[in-house]
Amino acid sequence: MIAGLAVWSLLAWIGYALVDPVLGWVAANAGLLVDGGKGLATATGAGKEVGSVVDNLNVSGFLGQAIALLRVVLKPAIIVLWAIGALALIAAPVILPRIIDRARRLL
């Protein structure tokens, strides 16, 4: 059980530490992705219509807002998921034998 908690905590800590660098990388490449998509649409014959639609939608602004929201939500979500997982790992030795006993009685 202690090894399971240690592994679970290590995974949560790694995820928590990697949230900011990964979202920073995504934010840095979001503009390139949008520009590449517009260039691909123009090259395939979709024309300037697609470029104007993308500009009107303000996709890069939307992506920036989505990334900002993820920065606010992901770290607390990782902490909550870690706590739920830790409680499940702590409760497993108590709950699993009862479930196994009930399953044996039914068979």
Domain regions of the chain by residue span? 2-106
Q: Specify the pLDDT at position 3.
A: 92
Give dist(CA 64, CA 55) in Å, integer.
15
Q: What pLDDT digit, counting tens, does each position of 67-100 carry?
A: 888 989 999 999 999 999 999 999 999 999 999 9
Distance CA 107, CA 102 (A): 9
**CB within 8 A of 10, min separation 6: which ones?**
none
Q: How confident is the model at residue 101 (pLDDT cuts 50, 70, 90)?
A: very high
- Which tops the pLDDT comparison, 85 or 44? 85
In 3D, which of 29, 32, 30, 37 has the Cα closest to residue 54?
37
**Rounded Cα distance, 76 and 19, in Å:** 11
